Amino acid sequence: MNIAILGCGTVGGGVATIIREMNKELALRSNTEMVLKTIVELNPDVASERFNIPPNLFAGGGKKLTVIEAAEAIDQIITSPEIDLVVETIGGTSDFVHDICMRIVKAGKHLVTANKALLAERGCDIFEEAEKHGVKIGFEAAVCGAIPIVKTIKENFTGDKILSISGIMNGTSNYILSRMQNEGLGFENALQLAQENGYAEADPALDINGGDAGHKIILLIKLAYGIDVSMNDLAITGIENIKKEDIEFANEIDAKIKLICYAKKINGDIFATVRPMMVKNSNFLSGVNGATNAVRVNTKYSGKHILVGKGAGSSETAMSIVSDMVFIARYGEKMRNTAPQQSLNFADARQFVFPYLITFHTADLPGTTGFITTAIGSRDINIDTVSHNRHQGEKATFSVATMPCRLEQIETAIEKIKTERPGMLLSEPKVMPILY
């Protein structure tokens, strides 16, 4: 199997290293010799030194390439009858990268990528073309790095029914929340530490706003339930508004705050969301700290399964890419790219039933707590607990933990409070599901 790599940064360089260092083992495991034919990289001198790759393996013989020269080298790879599989590690969702991936599969070449954003946002036509041309797309590395969750769902649960998937699928947000909870740091300080330690990018938006985690759960929904979901369909809330008081309220109900990806099948409906949740300490996910990822799969016949590991990193992500290459070499003719399409409804997340914790900031006036709890009860919501009021000047803060109900019920209760007591709420209440 002749292989080309597009991009030789952190992930592409890791792939090249593993192919070269494990060549004999990979040949035995795949019953196919893996031959790295060429790498397209704008700055091959840097990549060659960083990953100890011979310069002659780079397009252009190791000299720096212009963007035009790199595009020409990619064209040659796509049209070359010698190349069987292309590894795309350029990244991004641009028309340029999308076009490259489309042309790769149309040319009858297998595609392996860690590009979760591209596959989640613009992947439908790429998967369709791959099916038409009898080639396979490997994307294990796109979801939780070294954790084999894609293969687990595609291959290991084919004799079972997946009832729900939940997990911590973004290491940056988990690192930030862990530092906030374990060391009492504020959000900004925890984010700065994440950047200093290499867990967060200079622009961490996709990590902290839930976008990165959203891409991952979309791909798992496609595999587990056979439906296409867009980012516009998915209800996403990030962690940027989590404060110390939220951590304190979590402690009061014996929970930890985690950014959770959650998808569940109920009859013919699929409910899914990405948002901070109060994860009860009895739930394994509450103890997953730092940049670690963890996914919990609940199935009908075999019960609950938990996969834990590193969700990012050069060698971790590269390992998953190489694993896909071996799988394609061994089983390519029998593999499916995604699950068969099913006629399931992607439901409104506001109808999803959870217990919730609602945090209120109010004017410090007599009868406030009673009025708010009565308004909640008037929407057929049973209340589990009410926290102690925290008084600060003329302001008060408290939380209400509900029994299982729909988010829609909570929203109508909040509207009732706003309508009947204008000025009582000093900010929009914060609503977080409680995950047992």
Active site residues: 216
Asked whether the beta carbons of 375 and 400 are under 8 A apart, the reply is: no
87, 4 Cβ separation under 8 angstroms = yes
Sign for the pseudo-dihedral over CA of 231, 235, 239, 241:
positive
Q: How far apart are CA 58 and CA 70, in angstroms?
A: 11
Residues in the chain, how many?
436
Which residues are registered as beta bridge partners of 273? 235, 262
* φ/ψ of residue 425, rounded to 5: -85, 125
Question: What string of H, E and C letters represents the secondary structure of the chain?
Answer: CEEEEECCCHHHHHHHHHHHHCHHHHHHHHCCCCEEEEEECCCHHHHHHHHCCCHHHECCCCCCCCHHHHHHHHHHHHHCCCCCEEEECCCCCCHHHHHHHHHHHHCCCEEEECCHHHHHHHCHHHHHHHHHCCCCEECHHHCCCCCCHHHHHHHHCCCCCEEEEEEECCHHHHHHHHHHHHHCCCHHHHHHHHHHCCCCCCCCHHHHCCHHHHHHHHHHHHHHHCCCCCCCCCEECCCCCCCHHHHHHHHHCCEEEEEEEEEEEECCEEEEEEEEEEEECCCHHHHCCCCEEEEEEEECCCEEEEEEEECCCHHHHHHHHHHHHHHHHHHCCCCCCCCCCCCCEECCHHHCEECEEEEEEEECCCCHHHHHHHHHHCCCCCEEEECCCEEECCEEEEEEEECCEEHHHHHHHHHHHHHHCCCCECCCCEEEEEEC
Distance (Å, rounded) from C-alpha 407 to C-alpha 412? 9
